[in-house]
Amino acid sequence: MTLSGLGHRFPNAPWLFQHLSYEFQPGMVYALTGPSGSGKSTLLSLIAKLDKPSAGRITHEGIGQISWVFQNPFGTPRRTALDHVALPFLAAGSTIDQAEESASELLRRFQLDRVAGREFRELSGGEAQRLMLARGLATHPSLLLVDEPTAQLDRVTAAAVDAGIVAIADPTTIVLIATHDPNTRDACTAQLDLTPYAHAAEA
């Protein structure tokens, strides 16, 4: 996936960013950083095709399924952690046994196997956020977009989520995480900082 001369602004507002060119590779986990108002969440929306950029283009060559993980974990309160991750496998045609086996492997990957049978409402904030990361990967996305995964968490809980980011790397998936958290940034394998592009827009 490639960004070419990308820029965006809202009507009657200054440019959020401009002249942004970048190439993303599968298998990498990218931290999308920059100060508040620099357009991190907006860029995720553009990449997800929810809006069109004001300038430049995004080439989605090789991109199929796109999945999102939002700031606030959401799930079915009385469904178990295992159910949440198994559902995408069932939707893709797996049998119940196959789906639960695949889901269990992902839960182990995110160190959630001990809470597999726990209802969503019983999970801690960090467990729920890691569960969303696991469920995001269960859809086998070409592109996984994650918006501020530690923004609502205390430092100890956020550290557990940051540890889970290491597990999100997948050879067939581009992972892009918008974050203001330096620890989350450091848990990723590469960084795209919007600050220089915002400065270029103001020059």
**What whole-number distance in Å separates Cα of residue 134 and Cα of residue 189?**
18
Percentage of the residues of the chain whose pLDDT score is greater than 90: 77
Question: Does one domain contain both 123 and 158?
Answer: no
Give a yes or no: residue 45 inside a domain.
yes
43 vs 165, residue with greater confidence = 43
**Residues 150 and 129 occupy one common structural domain:** no
CA distance 185 to 88: 28
One domain for residues 58 and 146: yes
- Confirm if 144 and 65 have CB atoms less than 8 A apart: no
pLDDT tens for each residue of 1-19:
999 999 999 999 999 999 9
pLDDT at residue 202 in the model: 44
Range of the domain at 134: 76-140
Domain total in the chain: 2
Residues in contact with 4: Cβ distance below 8 Å, sequence separation at least 6, in sequence order: 21, 56, 57, 58, 59
The answer to whether 150 touches 81, Cβ cutoff 8 Å, is: no
Same domain, yes or no, for 41 and 4? Answer: yes
